Amino acid sequence: MVSIGGVSLKTPRVVGVIIEGRVNAAAKKAVDAGADFLELRADTFKNISLEKIEKALNSLRAFKKPVILTIRSKKEGGKCLISEKKRASLFDALMPLADAVDIELGSSAILKNVVNSAKGHKKKVIVSYHNFKTTPGEKKLLEIAAGCHASGADIVKVATFARGPEDLRLLARFLTDFNDLTVIAMGAHGAGSRVFFPLLGSVLTYGSVTGPSAPGQMPVAELTRELRRYGLG
Protein backbone atom coordinates (compact mmCIF):
# COMPACT_ATOMS: atom_id res chain seq x y z
CA MET A 1 0.00 0.00 0.00
CA VAL A 2 1.34 3.41 -0.99
CA SER A 3 2.03 5.93 1.75
CA ILE A 4 3.07 9.58 1.66
CA GLY A 5 5.17 10.90 4.51
CA GLY A 6 4.34 7.80 6.53
CA VAL A 7 0.57 8.23 6.08
CA SER A 8 -1.04 5.27 4.35
CA LEU A 9 -3.47 5.69 1.48
CA LYS A 10 -5.38 2.59 2.57
CA THR A 11 -8.38 4.87 3.06
CA PRO A 12 -9.08 8.03 1.03
CA ARG A 13 -7.14 11.07 2.20
CA VAL A 14 -8.13 14.71 2.03
CA VAL A 15 -5.62 17.16 0.58
CA GLY A 16 -5.90 20.81 1.58
CA VAL A 17 -4.77 22.94 -1.35
CA ILE A 18 -2.68 25.93 -0.25
CA ILE A 19 -2.41 28.82 -2.69
CA GLU A 20 -0.48 32.07 -2.36
CA GLY A 21 -1.52 34.30 0.49
CA ARG A 22 -1.37 33.79 4.22
CA VAL A 23 0.19 30.34 4.06
CA ASN A 24 0.33 29.73 7.81
CA ALA A 25 -3.27 30.79 8.36
CA ALA A 26 -4.45 28.70 5.41
CA ALA A 27 -2.56 25.62 6.59
CA LYS A 28 -3.99 25.94 10.10
CA LYS A 29 -7.48 26.29 8.67
CA ALA A 30 -6.97 23.18 6.50
CA VAL A 31 -5.60 21.07 9.35
CA ASP A 32 -8.34 22.20 11.74
CA ALA A 33 -10.90 21.25 9.09
CA GLY A 34 -9.49 17.72 8.86
CA ALA A 35 -7.00 17.75 5.98
CA ASP A 36 -4.65 14.75 5.99
CA PHE A 37 -2.14 16.31 3.56
CA LEU A 38 -1.20 19.83 2.52
CA GLU A 39 -0.49 20.63 -1.12
CA LEU A 40 1.48 23.76 -1.94
CA ARG A 41 0.47 25.11 -5.35
CA ALA A 42 3.66 27.06 -5.95
CA ASP A 43 2.45 28.11 -9.42
CA THR A 44 -0.10 30.41 -7.74
CA PHE A 45 2.64 32.66 -6.34
CA LYS A 46 2.86 36.02 -8.09
CA ASN A 47 6.63 36.25 -7.82
CA ILE A 48 8.02 32.74 -7.99
CA SER A 49 11.41 32.33 -6.40
CA LEU A 50 13.24 29.49 -4.72
CA GLU A 51 13.47 31.41 -1.45
CA LYS A 52 9.77 32.23 -1.37
CA ILE A 53 8.62 28.66 -2.04
CA GLU A 54 11.20 27.26 0.37
CA LYS A 55 9.85 29.51 3.12
CA ALA A 56 6.29 28.41 2.39
CA LEU A 57 7.22 24.71 2.46
CA ASN A 58 9.00 25.12 5.78
CA SER A 59 5.89 26.80 7.15
CA LEU A 60 3.73 23.89 6.03
CA ARG A 61 6.08 21.31 7.51
CA ALA A 62 5.55 22.85 10.94
CA PHE A 63 1.99 21.48 10.89
CA LYS A 64 3.27 17.87 10.93
CA LYS A 65 1.24 16.82 7.89
CA PRO A 66 2.71 15.30 4.72
CA VAL A 67 3.36 17.98 2.11
CA ILE A 68 2.82 17.67 -1.64
CA LEU A 69 4.72 20.12 -3.86
CA THR A 70 2.97 21.08 -7.09
CA ILE A 71 4.26 23.56 -9.65
CA ARG A 72 1.48 23.15 -12.17
CA SER A 73 2.14 23.82 -15.84
CA LYS A 74 0.15 26.64 -17.39
CA LYS A 75 -1.36 24.35 -20.03
CA GLU A 76 -2.86 22.13 -17.33
CA GLY A 77 -4.27 24.80 -15.06
CA GLY A 78 -1.22 26.52 -13.61
CA LYS A 79 -1.75 30.14 -12.63
CA CYS A 80 1.63 31.39 -13.86
CA LEU A 81 3.64 30.66 -16.97
CA ILE A 82 6.90 29.13 -15.77
CA SER A 83 9.55 27.76 -18.10
CA GLU A 84 10.12 24.02 -17.99
CA LYS A 85 13.77 24.64 -17.12
CA LYS A 86 12.78 26.71 -14.09
CA ARG A 87 10.13 24.22 -13.00
CA ALA A 88 12.64 21.36 -13.13
CA SER A 89 15.18 23.40 -11.20
CA LEU A 90 12.64 24.32 -8.51
CA PHE A 91 11.43 20.75 -8.14
CA ASP A 92 14.99 19.48 -7.75
CA ALA A 93 16.04 22.14 -5.25
CA LEU A 94 12.88 21.85 -3.14
CA MET A 95 12.54 18.06 -3.22
CA PRO A 96 14.02 17.54 0.29
CA LEU A 97 11.22 19.67 1.79
CA ALA A 98 8.34 17.73 0.21
CA ASP A 99 6.95 14.27 0.91
CA ALA A 100 5.60 13.97 -2.63
CA VAL A 101 5.55 15.91 -5.86
CA ASP A 102 2.91 16.23 -8.57
CA ILE A 103 4.16 16.40 -12.15
CA GLU A 104 2.04 16.24 -15.29
CA LEU A 105 2.32 13.37 -17.76
CA GLY A 106 2.21 16.05 -20.45
CA SER A 107 5.35 17.75 -19.13
CA SER A 108 7.46 15.37 -21.19
CA ALA A 109 10.49 17.66 -21.30
CA ILE A 110 11.03 17.45 -17.54
CA LEU A 111 8.97 14.45 -16.42
CA LYS A 112 11.84 11.96 -16.33
CA ASN A 113 14.16 14.33 -14.48
CA VAL A 114 11.53 15.20 -11.86
CA VAL A 115 10.64 11.55 -11.31
CA ASN A 116 14.31 10.56 -11.00
CA SER A 117 14.94 13.40 -8.56
CA ALA A 118 11.98 12.33 -6.43
CA LYS A 119 13.03 8.69 -6.43
CA GLY A 120 16.58 9.71 -5.54
CA HIS A 121 15.26 11.59 -2.52
CA LYS A 122 12.87 8.73 -1.66
CA LYS A 123 9.82 10.89 -2.28
CA LYS A 124 6.53 9.75 -3.77
CA VAL A 125 5.48 10.82 -7.25
CA ILE A 126 1.99 11.75 -8.41
CA VAL A 127 1.88 11.79 -12.20
CA SER A 128 -1.19 13.72 -13.29
CA TYR A 129 -3.39 14.50 -16.27
CA HIS A 130 -5.84 17.41 -16.43
CA ASN A 131 -8.44 18.16 -19.08
CA PHE A 132 -10.59 21.24 -18.44
CA LYS A 133 -12.75 20.84 -21.56
CA THR A 134 -13.93 17.25 -21.72
CA THR A 135 -13.56 13.67 -20.50
CA PRO A 136 -11.68 11.42 -22.97
CA GLY A 137 -13.04 8.03 -23.95
CA GLU A 138 -12.21 4.79 -22.17
CA LYS A 139 -9.36 3.85 -24.51
CA LYS A 140 -7.67 7.22 -24.01
CA LEU A 141 -8.10 7.06 -20.22
CA LEU A 142 -6.44 3.65 -20.15
CA GLU A 143 -3.58 4.99 -22.29
CA ILE A 144 -3.13 7.88 -19.86
CA ALA A 145 -2.99 5.52 -16.88
CA ALA A 146 -0.49 3.29 -18.67
CA GLY A 147 1.68 6.28 -19.53
CA CYS A 148 1.65 7.51 -15.94
CA HIS A 149 2.61 4.09 -14.61
CA ALA A 150 5.36 3.70 -17.20
CA SER A 151 6.83 7.06 -16.21
CA GLY A 152 7.29 5.90 -12.61
CA ALA A 153 4.13 7.13 -10.89
CA ASP A 154 3.40 5.94 -7.37
CA ILE A 155 -0.05 7.50 -7.72
CA VAL A 156 -1.89 8.33 -10.93
CA LYS A 157 -4.13 11.40 -10.87
CA VAL A 158 -6.69 12.02 -13.60
CA ALA A 159 -8.91 15.10 -13.49
CA THR A 160 -11.30 15.77 -16.38
CA PHE A 161 -14.28 17.98 -17.07
CA ALA A 162 -17.59 16.14 -16.70
CA ARG A 163 -20.26 17.21 -19.17
CA GLY A 164 -22.96 15.05 -17.59
CA PRO A 165 -23.83 11.69 -15.99
CA GLU A 166 -22.29 9.61 -18.79
CA ASP A 167 -18.86 11.10 -18.13
CA LEU A 168 -19.28 10.32 -14.43
CA ARG A 169 -20.14 6.72 -15.22
CA LEU A 170 -17.14 6.46 -17.54
CA LEU A 171 -14.76 7.83 -14.89
CA ALA A 172 -16.24 5.54 -12.24
CA ARG A 173 -15.62 2.48 -14.43
CA PHE A 174 -12.08 3.66 -15.12
CA LEU A 175 -11.43 4.22 -11.42
CA THR A 176 -12.42 0.70 -10.43
CA ASP A 177 -9.94 -0.83 -12.90
CA PHE A 178 -6.98 0.23 -10.70
CA ASN A 179 -5.99 0.53 -7.04
CA ASP A 180 -3.67 3.54 -7.12
CA LEU A 181 -5.78 6.16 -8.84
CA THR A 182 -6.98 9.59 -7.88
CA VAL A 183 -9.87 10.42 -10.18
CA ILE A 184 -11.70 13.75 -10.16
CA ALA A 185 -14.56 14.99 -12.30
CA MET A 186 -14.36 18.78 -12.59
CA GLY A 187 -17.18 21.24 -13.16
CA ALA A 188 -20.72 21.50 -11.81
CA HIS A 189 -21.66 17.96 -12.85
CA GLY A 190 -18.52 16.58 -11.24
CA ALA A 191 -18.58 18.25 -7.82
CA GLY A 192 -20.02 15.16 -6.13
CA SER A 193 -17.15 13.04 -7.46
CA ARG A 194 -14.92 14.58 -4.80
CA VAL A 195 -16.99 12.71 -2.21
CA PHE A 196 -18.32 9.67 -4.05
CA PHE A 197 -15.27 8.65 -6.06
CA PRO A 198 -13.38 8.00 -2.78
CA LEU A 199 -16.17 5.51 -2.00
CA LEU A 200 -15.05 3.66 -5.14
CA GLY A 201 -11.36 3.76 -4.24
CA SER A 202 -9.99 7.15 -5.33
CA VAL A 203 -7.05 7.53 -2.95
CA LEU A 204 -6.87 11.33 -2.73
CA THR A 205 -9.51 14.04 -2.85
CA TYR A 206 -8.66 17.73 -2.94
CA GLY A 207 -10.37 20.54 -1.05
CA SER A 208 -9.98 24.30 -1.17
CA VAL A 209 -8.92 26.42 1.81
CA THR A 210 -8.92 30.07 0.79
CA GLY A 211 -10.38 29.61 -2.69
CA PRO A 212 -10.84 26.83 -5.28
CA SER A 213 -7.93 25.92 -7.53
CA ALA A 214 -10.09 23.85 -9.91
CA PRO A 215 -13.74 23.92 -11.11
CA GLY A 216 -16.09 22.23 -8.64
CA GLN A 217 -13.56 22.01 -5.80
CA MET A 218 -15.31 22.27 -2.43
CA PRO A 219 -13.86 23.56 0.86
CA VAL A 220 -11.91 21.09 3.00
CA ALA A 221 -14.38 21.48 5.88
CA GLU A 222 -17.32 20.60 3.65
CA LEU A 223 -15.44 17.74 2.05
CA THR A 224 -14.42 16.12 5.34
CA ARG A 225 -17.95 16.55 6.70
CA GLU A 226 -19.42 14.75 3.70
CA LEU A 227 -16.85 11.95 3.82
CA ARG A 228 -17.66 11.34 7.49
CA ARG A 229 -21.32 11.19 6.60
CA TYR A 230 -20.55 8.13 4.48
CA GLY A 231 -18.13 6.55 6.94
CA LEU A 232 -14.87 7.60 5.27
CA GLY A 233 -13.70 10.24 7.74
pLDDT digits 0-9 by tens, 131-189: 999 999 999 999 999 999 999 999 999 999 999 999 999 999 999 988 889 999 999 99
What pTM was estimated for this model as a whole? 0.95
The answer to whether 157 is a known catalytic residue is yes
- At position 14, the amino acid (one-letter code) is V
Task: Say whether 189 is catalytic.
Answer: no
Q: How far is the C-alpha of 26 from the C-alpha of 210, rounded, in Å? A: 7
Q: What is the mean pLDDT of residues 85-97?
A: 97
Statement: residue 222 has pLDDT above 70: yes
Q: Which ranges constitute the DSSP H helices of the chain?
A: 23-32, 50-61, 84-94, 111-120, 138-150, 165-175, 193-199, 220-229
Report how far residue 213's alpha carbon sits from residue 93's, in angstroms, rounded to the nearest whole number: 24
Catalytic pick among 29, 65, 130, 189:
130
Query: Does residue 113 surpass a pLDDT of 80?
Result: yes
Q: Choose, from 29, 123, 124, 157, the residue flagged as catalytic.
A: 157
